[in-house]
Amino acid sequence: MKKEKILKQIDRLKSIAIAEGIDLSSEINKLRAMLELESDDFQKEKQMKEVWEIVQNSRKIERPKPQDFIKNFIEDFIELKGDRRFGNDNAVIGGIGYFDKYPVTVVGIQKGHTLNENIEYNFGSPHPEGYRKALRLSFQAEKFTRPILFFVDTPGAYPGIDSEERGMAEAIAENLYYLSDLKTPIISVITGEGGSGGALALGVSDILIMMQNAILSVISPEGCASILFKDSSKAAEASVSLKLTSFDLLNLGIVDKVIDEGPGLEVNPEIGYKNLSEQILTSLQYFTSLSSRELVEHRNQKIRKIGYYKDTTGYLKKGISNTRNFIYDLFKL
Amino acid sequence: MDKLPDSIKKLFVSKDNSDKTLPDNLFVECPGCQEIVYRPKLEQNLGVCPLCSYHFRISVDEWINFITDANSFLPLFEEIVSVDPLNFPGYREKLESLYKKGLNEAIRTGYARLDGIKILMGIMDSEFIMGSMGSVVGERVARLFEQGMNENLPVIIISRSGGARMQEGVVSLFQMAKTSAAAKKFSDSCNLFISILTDPTTGGVSASFSFLGDIIIAEPNALIGFAGQRVIEQTIKQKLPEGFQRAEFLEKKGFVDFVCDRRKLRETLVKILEIHRYRR
Ligand SMILES: [Zn+2]
């Protein structure tokens, strides 16, 4: 609407300029700048809608959940329960079976398709014992040099009194610690919602794969909006800023592969399954060909280089001793 | 106190001051016992109330002064500074204003000596975006562990942080993995990592290197945990019990080795270092 008005105005000015023989170019340029701003806003709006749609799709109840991936991919699946410490967490499913001809250990975070399932699986929010079960099965996989497949779909680790009493922070930290050094291949797939530390705990891997319409975020867009804009209804806006889509994360060098879902997993999962299955098979072939030393070295380098910062050693060497001013100057550059 | 003239009132800090850092005023009202404490006395006492042992939050410089040998702190990795990888609204401006204030990121790292024993030390700064961990914190912590591994030096980190830095998105999330992997390599080199948890240590920092110490020490009454209290309350829709997520609670649940009074911390650290055969 506004855009059309500006265009009309420009046309009018142009015709006046010609008819009267006067120079109106500066006025016309001003209007053009306004027009650009309008289309920027328009683009922003469009992008916000797209990203927000991805966020919502990633959470859809019809979308295949990790347990569906396991059913589809793993033959002779035998479920193994419990963390041998406290109990069995239904939000996390783990076990052994075959992927193609490879014996594998597989762990997924379960999310429900119905309310009852969701209550059983705690809406995909694990307690510490869920992460400890995952780690127990990972050590077992290492012992028998079985590759590990992680399928991740979670709003996050469960924030509750019991979770804290049983050491959620310690549980996640231990996973990050030991998985970084585990001497067997780890393939991690974010299938839906990758919620913060609770997802990362199963994300330390040799290859991090993301389904095209999955998300991975340091904080939920709603949580970010309520902190940043003091308004959780601005979640769509926050979701753009957080750069949580698969392609954003591919660009940032966090995710190694994005899997084409075709029409979208929630519409028809077949294409997504097929593409993912091929990628897992290629990855298994490659990573099982590496020695455990090469494998751990590769994984460590991959994790080690994540981060964006400026190393200002060069500036310091030039004899700028006052860090305070010099850092400020850097920003003005 | 209401009857006092304004000029004198200014010397006091009211107890509803939500920021619990040691204030600059000459007299301080202690949130623990509500008594008025003379600031120089408080400083002599390492920022601990002489009457009720309330532990005030103290600055990085105060930590260095209180804990390490005089003039022994030699900064490392200060040349690494933050950028704005996501082009996140307001982040650049925020960084700029903090750097202008003379703050150097949410962790300071360097060499130091404790009773002559050489160590590597990291002290988090909660004044810098709530001590949140972005790329720079992750990188400095990883380098600290690597330095320790190369020189066979113990690493001591004083944590206090709200967690991962939202403004760096998933990049900051992965600093958890990076610091944990570095802690593992350091540990495999058979060197000692002492993690000191102070008020508050939560989120992505507690769920990574902070809980990976060989020895984990907590300050009295420090808030320590994964999820924030407001988030938990909203999720479970009930009030949290008294003392929940406090240092003593974690000690009881078995997640920290012991709670240590700040006035005893230095000698305790020296004893631990000596038992691990680190020499002067
Ligand atoms: Zn007191």
Rounded to an integer, the average pLDDT of B55-80 is 94
Q: How many CB atoms lie within 10 A of CB A11?
A: 11
Q: What is the pLDDT of residues B154-192, one digit of tens each?
A: 999 999 999 999 999 999 999 999 999 999 999 999 999
- Angstrom distance (rounded) from CA B89 to CA A305: 25
Q: How many CB atoms lie within 10 A of CB B263?
A: 15
Task: Give the range of the structural domain holding residue B47, as residue numbers without chain letter.
Answer: 9-56
Boundary-marking domain end, from B40, B56, B72: B56
Using the Cβ of B105 and the Cβ atoms of chain A, whether some distance falls under 8 Å is answered with no
Task: Report residue B14's pLDDT band, with 50, 70 and 90 as the boundaries.
Answer: very low
Residue B3: inside a domain, yes or no?
Answer: no
Boundary-marking domain end, from B18, B37, B56: B56
Q: Are residues B71 and B42 in the same domain?
A: no
Using the Cβ of B178 and the Cβ atoms of chain A, whether some distance falls under 8 Å is answered with yes
Q: Give the residue on A whose Cα is nearest the Cα of B93.
A: A331
Q: Are residues B206 and B178 in the same domain?
A: yes
Task: Report residue B21's pLDDT band, with 50, 70 and 90 as the boundaries.
Answer: low
Residue B53 makes CB contacts below 8 A (sequence gap 6+) with B32, B220, B261
Q: What is the pLDDT of residues B237-262, one digit of tens each?
A: 999 999 999 999 999 999 999 999 99
Task: Report residue A332's pLDDT band, with 50, 70 and 90 as the boundaries.
Answer: very low
Residue B1: inside a domain, yes or no?
Answer: no
Residue B2: inside a domain, yes or no?
Answer: no
- Angstrom distance (rounded) from CA B24 to CA B103: 17
Could you identify the residue written with the tokens 């209007």?
A: A31
Q: Are residues B22 and B149 in the same domain?
A: no
Q: What is the pLDDT of residues A72-92, one digit of tens each?
A: 999 999 999 999 999 999 999
Task: Report residue A315's pLDDT band, with 50, 70 and 90 as the boundaries.
Answer: low
pLDDT of residue A16: 86
Q: Are residues B137 and B234 in the same domain?
A: yes
Q: Are residues B18 and B105 in the same domain?
A: no
Q: Are residues B197 and B85 in the same domain?
A: yes
Q: Are residues B189 and B239 in the same domain?
A: yes
Could you identify the residue written with the tokens 């002489």?
A: B50
Q: Are residues B130 and B205 in the same domain?
A: yes
Interface test with B, best of A164, A219, A250, A301 (most B CBs within 10 A): A164
User: Quick check: A300 pLDDT over 50?
Assistant: yes
* Higher pLDDT, residue A186 or A42: A186
Cα angle, residue B99 at apex, residues B224 and B96 outer, rounded to 5°:
105
- Runs of H (alpha helix) within B161-243: 169-188, 203-206, 229-236
What are the helix and strand counts (H, E) for chain A?
A: 15, 9
Q: What is the pLDDT of residues A43-73, one digit of tens each?
A: 888 889 999 999 999 999 999 999 999 999 9
Q: Which helix (H) or strand (E) holds A265?
A: none
User: Quick check: A328 pLDDT over 80?
Assistant: no
Q: Which residues pair with B114 in a beta bridge?
A: B117
User: Quick check: A22 pLDDT over 80?
Assistant: yes
Residue B42: inside a domain, yes or no?
Answer: yes
Q: Which residues pair with B158 in a beta bridge?
A: B123, B196
Residue B79's CATH number: 3.90.226.10
Using the Cβ of B111 and the Cβ atoms of chain A, whether some distance falls under 8 Å is answered with no
Q: Are residues B114 and B26 in the same domain?
A: no
Who among A180, A228, A331 is closest to B181 (CB)? A180
Cα angle, residue A105 at apex, residues A102 and A111 outer, rounded to 5°:
125
Note the pTM of the prediction, 2 decimals.
Answer: 0.89
Residue B4: inside a domain, yes or no?
Answer: no
Q: Are residues B76 and B195 in the same domain?
A: yes
- Angstrom distance (rounded) from CA B128 to CA A28: 46
pLDDT of residue A44: 85
**How many contacts (CB atoms, under 8 Å) link A and B?**
207
Who among B85, B89, B178 is closest to A308 (CB)? B85
Q: What is A66-105 written as a DSSP string? A: HHHHHHHHEEEEEE----SSS---TTEEEEEEEETTEEEE
Q: Are residues B105 and B24 in the same domain?
A: no
pLDDT of residue B6: 55
Residue B152: inside a domain, yes or no?
Answer: yes
Who among B85, B207, B228 is closest to A172 (CB)? B207
- Angstrom distance (rounded) from CA B34 to CA B28: 9
Q: What is the ipTM of this complex?
A: 0.92
Residue range A64-304 in CATH 3.90.226.10: yes
Domain limits, chain A? 64-304
- Angstrom distance (rounded) from CA A167 to CA B251: 11
pLDDT of residue A333: 37
Q: Are residues B89 and B27 in the same domain?
A: no
Interface test with A, best of B180, B208, B231 (most A CBs within 10 A): B180
- Count structural domains, chain B: 2
pLDDT of residue B16: 41
User: Quick check: B138 pLDDT over 50?
Assistant: yes
Contact between B105 and B165 under an 8 Å Cβ cutoff? The reply is no
B34: left (phi over 0), alpha (psi -120 to 50) or beta: left
